Chains A and B, each alone.
Chain A
Amino acid sequence: MTIRHALLALLSEGPRYGLQLRQEFEARTGEVWPLNVGQVYTTLQRLERDGLVESDGGDDDGPQKGFKITDEGRAELAAWLRTPPDLSSPPRDELVIKVLVAVELPGVDVHEVVQTHRRYLVQLMQEWTRLKEYAADRDLGFGLAVDAELFRLDAVVRWLDAADGRIKRASLEDRDLPRAPLPKTPRKVVLRP
């Protein structure tokens, strides 16, 4: 989420002071994404420059300066909410690269490499689930943010499980099949930066 649109969203509920915006942002995201004061003020200045918010005109840039959203700001927020984020290109995934490298390296037990990452991920999930167990019912925003993190980590674990199975099957086929010369296939994997 961009801070720009988060601030617009908070201001769409009514005028706020800078400091108030920071506190509410952190409260709404369940403090999962801490924000520093500098980020808040720089972003507010840009929003004001672009005509999306108005300040109450005080010369002082301190925490007592008030802000409100403009009609252009509301239109920008509505458009942003409905614009799908760019998920079309795969992210450069360090874990995928590690597993691809491990498969090729002689003397490396790729299953052990996979398991090391799986254990780490499940441990992280245990910590998030513990947070959810104690706090998610009390705070909708926090519950949603924790769910998102759990589903993201879960997807990575599922990929590791699938990779583990695929590598195992491939090694069994390798062992069982007579060694006929295989057609040379391109093995380069292109991962966009």
Chain B
Amino acid sequence: MKELNEVDRSEEFIKLLAEHERRLTAYVMTFVPRAADADDILQETKLGLWQSFDQFVAGTNFGAWARQAAFNRILDFRKRKGRESQHLMFSDCCIENLAVAFERSEGLMDARFGRLTHCVAKLPSEHRQIVSLRYHDSKSVDEIAEKMSRSVAATYRVLSRIRLALRDCILEIGGDSRLQSEPIQ
């Protein structure tokens, strides 16, 4: 990248980051439960990516490079905040295993997530409403329980079932529940 002038380099960086922004954000959120923490880590990561952009080799995998940088910051963050945090945290060993597992299936997951809207649309109407309350209207589980006239425990259960169904649909595991072939004619 060194032969590029400052503006070209900035443009190239902006372009690459724009392409990978959503996936990088989702990656950090996968490892960091609290969004405020994820936001901080993302900010630091992006600044770090820019500052070390000279080291990025054009044409190589920007996504993997950015995830590695983000993961290093996640580890730093855990060290910094770990002792003072009230929140439960996986061991370093466990989180590193997860990072390796993520890289193993990243391609599969990412390619499949284009199906998300389709899979949400296929949910039964009540489940779609719950997804909408949760993710579009930012309702808490307590509020969803009240709105749907369910207990909080039942709401957690239904949310977990919805999430599994969406995951199976996205990854097309066990077949698309509505996919039927015409009978052999």
Do A and B bind? no
Question: Hey, which bits of chain A sit against chain B, CB under 8 A?
Answer: none
Question: B-side interface residues toward A, CB under 8 Å?
Answer: none
